[in-house]
């Protein structure tokens, strides 16, 4: 049978096991996510085989869980032929995807997780950060992970009693991480520890002095690190490398222009929705750190690139994110390697740019450097980059070497 959407639908219609009433909706969801017909057919075939096994072993739908998938994987085929490792791996992936779909529709019970008291306290800490401090999701996740690791190492699986914490416990936790972490990563751990201990102090479970026991990480504020800015020529080569005859090229060009012209952060681009583009006024609504929103003017080339992508590149989808994945499942871009970072890396590779850095933040730094060299003041740069603290903008004062040289005093006694 030639793989097609129709053949996949016909395949699941023949199912008679406990999953029979839900496989049609499962296949329909795969088609809505724009999976290829051959992929949908394979997923349907695995789903029907799993349904047949469940019926044979009398497994009720409400009882379905990961244990049954493990038992299904250990089954033997007729004539005792061995199942290849790649087939088993693919089979496990497809059946697990089916179970996730069933749970999402309330057909099966959600997986039970044996959460420790440390996990529960860390989750409460994360909820506090979100509700009362409005931190970014990435920061909340980082601080919550630090709190969970600290509590797990200190109390293991015993009852968590914050009243017994001492300064030595905090110092030992931080010292263990100095052996395998660089200063920037270690500083996030230290900040997370201080935030958690303040939360514990707010709950009345630790003494105020315990927060002061968190060691500091050496940061040389008098000699800040130079911003990792991409050169204007390299940035333009990366933008010009996008193939505008393809949907991916149109999307990537719009993303790179947002990075280069407006200096947006990666997570800000990922969070953009269709409603954030105000075409009547030519503004773009951006959600920055801490949930803050602001309206930025949309440059003509940025607006044109976004419009071209929306008209001739964006896949049809119910997802309201502005930029979508080009492959199924069609949805908004993900954080990390599947998001803005990969777009930048591929663009630099296509443009044959041998840049020292591969991240997206170098475009933001380049915008600030270009503004500074064009005569903009540091407060103006901070306003464009939406910095909350002037100290965040002050790092660009070290970039304009010519201006700094004119402020240097002559060496006493003349040059030697």
Which residue among 46, 321, 364, 365 is the active-site one?
Answer: 364
The residues, ordered by sequence, that sit 6+ positions from 331 with a Cβ below 8 Å of its Cβ are: 33, 317, 319, 321, 324, 325
Q: Could you count the other beta carbons within 10 Å of the beta carbon of residue 80?
A: 6
Give the C-alpha separation, 380 to 393, whole Å.
10
Which residue among 128, 154, 194, 265 is the active-site one?
Answer: 265
Give the C-alpha separation, 149 to 181, whole Å.
15
Which residue among 289, 350, 358, 386 is the active-site one?
Answer: 289
Give the C-alpha separation, 166 to 206, whole Å.
9
Give the C-alpha separation, 339 to 315, whole Å.
16
Residue with tokens 């170098």: 362
Closest CA to 115 of 124, 106, 128, 103: 124
Which residue among 35, 143, 199, 396 is the active-site one?
Answer: 396
Active site includes 188?
Answer: no
Give the C-alpha separation, 411 to 416, whole Å.
9
Q: Mapping DSSP to helix (H, G, I), strand (E, B) and coil, where does residue 95 land?
A: helix
Active site includes 265?
Answer: yes
Active site includes 46?
Answer: no
Which residue among 22, 321, 361, 365 is the active-site one?
Answer: 361
Q: 273 pairs with which residues across the strands? A: 321
Residue with tokens 């600030």: 368
Active site includes 387?
Answer: yes
Rg of the chain in Å (alpha carbons): 27
Distances (CA, A) of 218 to 136, 156, 195, 261, 390: 25, 30, 19, 34, 21
The residues, ordered by sequence, that sit 6+ positions from 121 with a Cβ below 8 Å of its Cβ are: 147, 151, 160
User: What's the distance, CA 32 to chain centroid?
Assistant: 24
Residues annotated as catalytic are: 265, 289, 361, 364, 387, 396
């Amino acid at each position: 049978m030639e793989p097609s959407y129709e053949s996949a639908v016909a395949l699941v219609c023949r199912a008679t096991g406990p999953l029979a009433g839900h496989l049609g909706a499962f296949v329909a969801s795969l088609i809505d996510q724009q999976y290829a017909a051959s992929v949908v057919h394979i997923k349907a075939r695995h789903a029907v085989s799993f349904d047949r096994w469940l019926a044979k072993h009398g497994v009720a739908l409400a009882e379905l869980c990961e244990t049954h998938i493990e038992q299904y994987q250990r089954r033997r085929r007729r004539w005792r032929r061995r199942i290849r490792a790649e087939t088993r791996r693919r089979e496990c992936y497809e059946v697990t995807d089916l179970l996730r779909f069933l749970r999402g529709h309330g057909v099966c019970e959600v997986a039970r997780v044996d959460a420790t008291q440390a996990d529960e306290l860390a989750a409460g800490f994360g909820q506090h950060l979100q509700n009362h401090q409005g931190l970014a999701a990435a920061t909340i996740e980082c601080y919550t992970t630090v709190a969970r690791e600290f509590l797990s190492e200190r109390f293991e699986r015993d009852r968590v009693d914050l009243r017994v914490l001492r300064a030595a416990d905090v110092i030992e936790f931080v010292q263990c991480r100095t052996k395998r972490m660089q200063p920037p990563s270690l500083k996030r751990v230290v900040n997370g520890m201080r935030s958690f201990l303040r939360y514990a102090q707010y709950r009345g479970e630790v003494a105020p002095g315990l927060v002061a026991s968190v060691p500091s990480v050496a940061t040389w504020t008098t000699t800040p690190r130079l911003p990792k800015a991409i050169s204007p020529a390299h940035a333009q080569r990366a933008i010009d490398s996008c193939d505008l005859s393809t949907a991916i090229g149109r999307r990537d060009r719009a993303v790179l222009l947002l990075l280069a012209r407006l200096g947006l952060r990666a997570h800000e681009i990922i969070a953009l929705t269709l409603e954030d583009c105000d075409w009547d006024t030519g503004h773009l609504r951006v959600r920055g750190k801490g949930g803050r929103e602001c309206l930025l003017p949309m440059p003509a080339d940025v607006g044109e690139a976004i419009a071209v992508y929306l008209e001739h590149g964006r896949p049809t989808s119910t997802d309201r994110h502005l930029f979508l994945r080009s492959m199924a499942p069609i949805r908004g871009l993900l954080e990390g390697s599947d998001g803005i970072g990969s777009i930048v890396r591929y663009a630099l590779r296509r443009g044959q740019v041998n840049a020292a850095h591969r991240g997206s933040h170098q475009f933001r730094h380049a915008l600030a450097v270009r503004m500074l060299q064009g005569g903009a003041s540091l407060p103006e740069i901070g306003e464009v980059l939406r910095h909350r603290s002037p100290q965040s903008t002050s790092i660009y004062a070290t970039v304009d070497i010519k201006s700094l040289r004119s402020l240097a005093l002559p060496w006493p006694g003349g040059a030697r």
